[in-house]
Structure 1
Amino acid sequence: MAMRRTTLPAAVTALTLLAAWAGAHSATAAPAPHTAKAPNRAKAAGTCAVLAPGASSVAEKAAAAACEQIGVWYTWGGGHGPQPGPTYGQVDPSDPDSAHDPERLGFDCSGLVRYAYARAAGGDPLTGNAHHQFHSPQVKQRFTAAQGTGPLLPGDLLAWGSGGSIHHIAIYLGAGRMVEARESGTRITVSDVRLDGDYAGAVRIAGPAAAPGTFSTWGTEVWTHKEPSTTSPRVHKFPGPTTVRIECQKHAEPVTAEGYTNDAWSYLPEYGAWITNIYIKGAAWLDGVRTCP
């Protein structure tokens, strides 16, 4: 009992001193007008929305469409079905975190970009993987890595890669932020733009009108070549249908594939490569495409 009688007054005294200190501290801190606004700024920093003016209506709609997918699973190969939209993924043999991707409905990075611009512009203007989208005929302006985010507008596509190959792509929101489907085991999220590492630059996408000379490939695992011949070195493989720009066409080595024989080849300037016209949707000799000199 003696312990309780001596402890209680000490506790009361301590509480009284604590209350007095807290009151004095509050009186000093209260006038700072920015204190109440800090939570709002923190909340805004995590918001997925168009965060800067100046973009085209299509670009703003694309950013908004991507933002609607926040929280959806990243899944390797997701979003590359016959039509734009989420699909179940595939196992990436190089990534242990990809083991459950076939059970996850969602997008990979380029699947999300494809979906966003299909929603915004109509049609399916950005097919293919990140590399194909970065070199798409729909690109109307390019920005180097050295330019940073200064000249970028919402809806621009940021890309990462090295050695001429692009492996990741995301959609810029403004204010140094982007929306992305980053890697297996995560969900679509808003992130700070990463300008270090292998950041390769950005591209701005044109409006819904198709660029002159735009066609689509068909088939799977289709290789392009350095020269219009199947015996010349391979340059790039299209895993599935991809929108491409054709600069010109010429008669060269006859090719037999998919039940067709054709000696016409088309030059793809974005890839610096040739592809047999068998794998271009259209006539055997493409209408409206000039003959290469």
Structure 2
Amino acid sequence: MAMRRTLGAALAAVALLAAWGGAHGTPAAAAPRAAGACDVLAPGASAVAEGAVRAACEQIGVWYTWGGGHGPQPGPTYGQVDPSDPDSAHDPERLGFDCSGLVRYAYARAAGGDPLPGNAYHQFNSPEVKQRFTAAQGTAPLLPGDLLAWGSGGSVHHIAIYLGAGKMVEARESGTRITVSDVRLGGDYAGAVRMAAAAAPGTFSTWGTDVWTHKEPSTTSPRVHRFPGPTIVRIDCQKHAEPVTAEGYTNDAWSYLPEYGAWITNIYIKGPAWLDGVRTCR
């Protein structure tokens, strides 16, 4: 489970009210946020790409750690010492991501499964790539969620996720934390790639803002993770449990999200009250 900042009591109270607000349906699309924020900063990207942006943005402030994020499953791990970088001396003590570990985690969260394992080179040359952009094209044709790469002679040593408006989110180097940066088009910038838009089987989109998942299929069980906005999630199974009422709708169906180890009421999953094609939990 990724490291996340603990909300203060006041924010937690606001989130609790917001989590159960809204009608059972698809909300209007939110306007892009101002440049400088870590969010989807331009329109036009696929739902999976937008989900990857938001998953990466949730990691703002987490440590860069060399080799981080390359465990058996996508997610933060303790790093390693990079023999070529003295600043990595403390990376084995820091839980976090390197550049490709962050990209792997973001797209696993957005698309389900593990579509982008490997290092920056493997991701830039992944069979999941559907479109490529040269360095000479700059950022003009790019959409949020596109992957920007740096390297020369066929090698790739760094990769980041485009936000739009000339901004990107990246895990840059040892001694720093995941941050929003201006896109660096000089030096050995090698171009960008766009991933396939299709989500993996069993994936759905949430809707609403500040929606919480729970340890058990009940609103009184401990809260696990907050979705600040619509997010692509993978659903393993669903079951009938505690009825939840929100804005005149009542539903006793809950879905299990294996990447989070948590449950979400189906009220906040786009689709029918009981999701088609999803098995019943035992």
Identify the TM-score tier after normalising by the shorter chain. 0.5 to 0.7
Contact 2:55 2:106 in 1 (8 A): yes
Instruction: Identify the match of residue 79 of structure 1 among 69, 84, 88.
Output: 69
Asked if 1:185 corresponds to 2:182, the answer is no
Asked if 1:108 corresponds to 2:98, the answer is yes
Match of 1:70 in 2: 60
| Deviation (angstroms), 1:49 | 0.5
Distance 1:200 1:62 in 2: 21
The TM-score, its normalising length taken from structure 1, stands at: 0.56
| Deviation (angstroms), 1:207 | 2.7
Instruction: Identify the match of residue 149 of structure 1 among 133, 139, 142.
Output: 139
What is the percentage of aligned positions where both structures have the same residue?
89
Match of 2:127 in 1: 137
Asked if 1:202 corresponds to 2:187, the answer is no
Distance 2:132 2:112 in 1: 23
Tell me, what secondary structure is at the counterpart of 2:157?
strand
- Number of residue-to-residue matches in the alignment: 168
Distance 1:59 1:45 in 2: 18
Tell me, what secondary structure is at the counterpart of 1:110?
helix
Contact 2:112 2:199 in 1 (8 A): no
What amino acid is aligned across from residue 120 of structure 1 in structure 2?
A: A
- The structure number with the bigger radius of gyration is 1
User: Cα RMSD over matched residues?
Assistant: 1.3
| Deviation (angstroms), 1:113 | 0.1
What amino acid is aligned across from residue 91 of structure 2 in structure 1?
A: D
Contact 1:122 1:208 in 2 (8 A): no
Distance 1:140 1:46 in 2: 28
Runs of 4+ that moved beyond 2 A: 43-46, 207-210
What amino acid is aligned across from residue 127 of structure 1 in structure 2?
A: P
Unaligned runs of 5+ in 2: 1-32, 201-282
Distance 1:208 1:137 in 2: 13
Instruction: Identify the match of residue 173 of structure 1 among 155, 163, 166.
Output: 163
| Deviation (angstroms), 1:208 | 4.0
Instruction: Identify the match of residue 80 of structure 2 among 73, 90, 114.
Output: 90
Instruction: Identify the match of residue 121 of structure 1 among 111, 121, 140.
Output: 111
Match of 2:38 in 1: 48
| Deviation (angstroms), 1:47 | 1.1
| Deviation (angstroms), 1:44 | 4.0
Distance 2:112 2:47 in 1: 13
The TM-score, its normalising length taken from structure 2, stands at: 0.58
Tell me, what secondary structure is at the counterpart of 2:44?
coil
Question: C-alpha deviations, 1:190-216, integer Å up to 9, x for none?
Answer: 000000000000000003467xxxxxx
Distance 2:128 2:197 in 1: 8
Shift of the 209–173 alpha-carbon distance from structure 1 to 2, 3 Å rule, reads closer
- State how 1:210-225 maps to structure 2 within 5 Å: none
Question: C-alpha deviations, 1:12-33, integer Å up to 9, x for none?
Answer: xxxxxxxxxxxxxxxxxxxxxx
Which protein, 1 or 2, shows the higher relative CO under an 8 Å CA cutoff with sep ≥ 6?
Answer: 2
Distance 2:93 2:175 in 1: 11
Distance 1:96 1:104 in 2: 15
